[in-house]
Structure 1
Amino acid sequence: MGNFTIVAGARPNFMKIAPIIHALQKQQKEGVNVKFRLVHTGQHYDKKMSGDFFEQLNIPEPNANLGGGGGTQAEQTAAIMVAFEKELMENRPDLVLVVGDVTSTLACSITAKKLQIDVAHVEGGIRSGDLTMPEEINRMVTDSITDHFFTTSEIANSNLRKGGFSEDKIHFVGNTMIDTLMAQMPRFQKPEGEVFENLEPGNYFVMTMHRPANVDQEHSLKAMIDAILEGTGGLPIIFPVHPRTAKNLQTIGIDASNLIMVEPLGYLEFNYLVKNAKGVITDSGGITEEASVMNVPCITLRDNTERAETIHLGTNELVGTDPAKLKPYLEKVMKGDWKKYQGIPLWDGKTAERIVKILVDKYPN
């Protein structure tokens, strides 16, 4: 009997593990002797992660919440490791499955390996080459001790081969985030509230910014927002904003009627806005994947990306963090002269089924 512990620590992690849980539940219904526990490390305290959140994703409430949020990176890592070690000693699985590149991914993979438990990394092999990002360190350390890599692209496969990992550990399966996107798309819903009432499809932008390089330097933040306002022709810009960023914007006196700052949105509401937007301006990684599959122009305000396939085959362009470089890209979006989604191999909504088939084959007893 395969016995697995699935770890998630931040909201995007749950989007990535939801289809894996559904695929495991399907196996159980078909009489396959497989067990799993869902562990929430509590890394991100998020008021939107209530029962409704798990209901929206159609997944069970976690079996355990480790309460490992808060503090510095080191404090958070330590708290999660201490609590997860206890969890594993009380409920020892055959394998721990971690996803993505958050602190929980790193902390739980190390803890499992020190207890001689196998580790599978969903989204293994992704690299940005930027060691100033904590996520890159999390990815590198996790991959160095992983037993099974579930990869999203040939680029990730190539990174792992260059790292000396054997082919039998590398499983090219696709992207579980896209499984969730495709499953949930029919349920996307327009957010409630007056600011969303008059939005015309294809006639507004969606923006997200959270990386310190973009939001913590007042001068560069003002220059970037000014460049965005200048290049979007007065169209509404919906900006779900972190309280810290909102405070910074207030300090620098950004005041434009078409820059509409809103509370962070739920998954179904946010992706409704992305799907119907003229374009997306972001410094996130995951949004570039979703925008690409929905064939929405995407401008990334970063100097590097760990998801190069969204540039080669998707709708994403890496513009950088220099506001002066933004203008020609926004002009292309405004003119409707943007590249189309070409299709990324295995991003077909069936990734989780492939993952679970491999797990059940590898851990039959």
Structure 2
Amino acid sequence: MKKIAIVTATRAEYGLLSPLIRRVSEDKETELDLIITGTHLSKKHGYTIEEILRDGFSDFHTIPILENGNTPYDISVTVANATKGFAQCFRDDRPDMAVILGDRTEMLGVAVAAMNERIPIAHIHGGEVTEGAVDDCVRHALTKMSYLHFTATEAYRNRVIQLGENSNRVFAVGSLGTDNILSIKLLGENSLRRAVGIPEGIPYAVMTFHPVTLEGDAYRNQVHELCQAMKESRLFYLITMTNADTGGDYINQVITDYAAKHDNAILAGSLGAVKYLSALKYASFVLGNSSSGILEAPVLGTPTVNIGDRQKGRLMADTVINCNAEKESIMRSIDKAKKMPHIATRMYGDGSASEKILSIQKRFLFAEKIDLKKGFFDIVNSAEDTIKNFYK
């Protein structure tokens, strides 16, 4: 029996990881070590550990790490708290492998603790590019600290290899978000509307907007431009809360005020995977700058109005409309999205990512010898080799 630790710190991350968590927990050769941290344990962010409990997972570790705020200082201290908390956890209850996903800054602390305990790390969603956010360098840093890599596309796999990771440990498995969409039984439209409070018989959109962490305080003006576009677009909006990045508190306050003062919007703290994906399915379009508009909405055929540079660099389906974070640009894109046909696109896998990930993990844990002395994997046809060959 091999123990696999899976770490989740946000509601969105848990939504992606849930098919893998369930698969590990049901496998007869692996023991699930579920570790819950970050905003899951914060009342301000909806105390989403309750969603995990409702899903039937009750045997887990909890590690509080969040500082009370989201300034750059607070986020740095959160990373330090994660390093200390996970160091103690991994020292006292050592797993055979630790799984982390994506690009959250707190995962740096998790990875450092696992690396120092010589625990091999499996990283999901590496090789991607989001040029507008600090997440980009965090993601690549996590790649270099990890041993196994599970990417969403072949192009992302090639990027991880370009970072010096051995191609024999990098696997293009697709996105876990596609697994969720194709495996979860979604609500009917009327049931969904009643469950979240969307009036019947009117079109609606799902809006999520996060701060763009490499643009200073630009989020302040951007969220007001977005609210003006929602006000003038004459459509109903289901608004979800933002994350715990720098500027998140300000955005949450603005969208909370908007929902309270306007009858064309409601605010949802945390919907959970079933209601959120159901909301995406029946929406006229998705609005904002969340990765779910790039990874998940296209699988359901729902168009996306992607605002600004936060997701710049990701591979995008034809149903994604990019625009500037300005009212007029947003409104023009909304008009396009409302007229766009809903055509499902599966550019991020076939829904078997969790099965592939666990199978590969088990192969390395049971059959392969894990050697943490990775070395640097040089691409054969490097630029240097090309120059040398040119002058021969």
Q: TM-score, normalised by structure 1?
A: 0.84
- How many residues were matched structurally? 349
Structure 2 matches for 1:281-360, cutoff 5 A?
A: 281-305=287-311, 308-309=314-315, 311=316, 313=317, 315-334=319-338, 336-338=339-341, 340-346=343-349, 348-360=350-362
Name the counterpart of 1:168: 168
RMSD over aligned CA atoms reads 2.9
TM-superposition CA deviations, 1:191-210 (whole Å, max 9, x none): 5479423244xx22221223
Q: Which moved more, 1:3-12 or 1:294-303?
A: 3-12
Distance in 1 of aligned mates of 2:80 and 2:340: 49
Name the counterpart of 1:266: 271
Distance in 2 of aligned mates of 1:251 and 1:264: 14
Structure 2 matches for 1:249-264, cutoff 5 A?
A: 256-258=262-264, 260-264=265-269
Contact 1:110 1:142 in 2 (8 A): no
Q: Which moved more, 1:353-362 or 1:215-224?
A: 215-224
**Correspondence 1:248 to 2:254:** yes
Name the counterpart of 1:148: 148
Query: Match for 2:61 among 59, 64, 73?
Result: 64
Contact 1:207 1:282 in 2 (8 A): yes
Distance in 1 of aligned mates of 2:52 and 2:259: 38
What is the Cα deviation at residue 211 of structure 1?
1.6
Name the counterpart of 2:246: none
Q: Which runs of 5+ in 2 are unaligned?
A: 69-73, 243-248, 368-392
What is the Cα deviation at residue 16 of structure 1?
2.3
Identity %: 17
Query: Match for 2:52 among 34, 54, 58?
Result: 54
**What amino acid sits opposite 2:10 in the alignment?**
A
Distance in 2 of aligned mates of 1:20 and 1:253: 35
SS in structure 1 at match of 2:336: helix
SS in structure 2 at match of 1:262: strand
Name the counterpart of 1:207: 207
What is the Cα deviation at residue 343 of structure 1?
2.2
SS in structure 1 at match of 2:231: helix
Distance in 1 of aligned mates of 2:130 and 2:216: 17
Distance in 1 of aligned mates of 2:119 and 2:5: 10
TM-superposition CA deviations, 1:310-357 (whole Å, max 9, x none): x2x3522222323332243222223x23573332152x2211110000
Distance in 2 of aligned mates of 1:112 and 1:264: 32
The verdict on how the C-alpha distance between 1:307 and 1:275 changes in structure 2, with shifts beyond 3 A counting, is farther
SS in structure 1 at match of 2:22: helix
Query: Match for 1:38 among 31, 34, 49?
Result: 34
Name the counterpart of 1:183: 183
Distance in 1 of aligned mates of 2:150 and 2:195: 40
Distance in 2 of aligned mates of 1:246 and 1:153: 33
TM-superposition CA deviations, 1:8-39 (whole Å, max 9, x none): 111122222221122223321xxx3x223111
Distance in 2 of aligned mates of 1:296 and 1:282: 13
Q: Which runs of 5+ in 1 are unaligned?
A: none
SS in structure 2 at match of 1:185: coil
Contact 2:126 2:151 in 1 (8 A): yes
Contact 1:296 1:315 in 2 (8 A): yes
SS in structure 2 at match of 1:237: strand
**What amino acid sits opposite 1:177 in the alignment?**
G
TM-superposition CA deviations, 1:167-206 (whole Å, max 9, x none): 1121111111222232223356525479423244xx2222
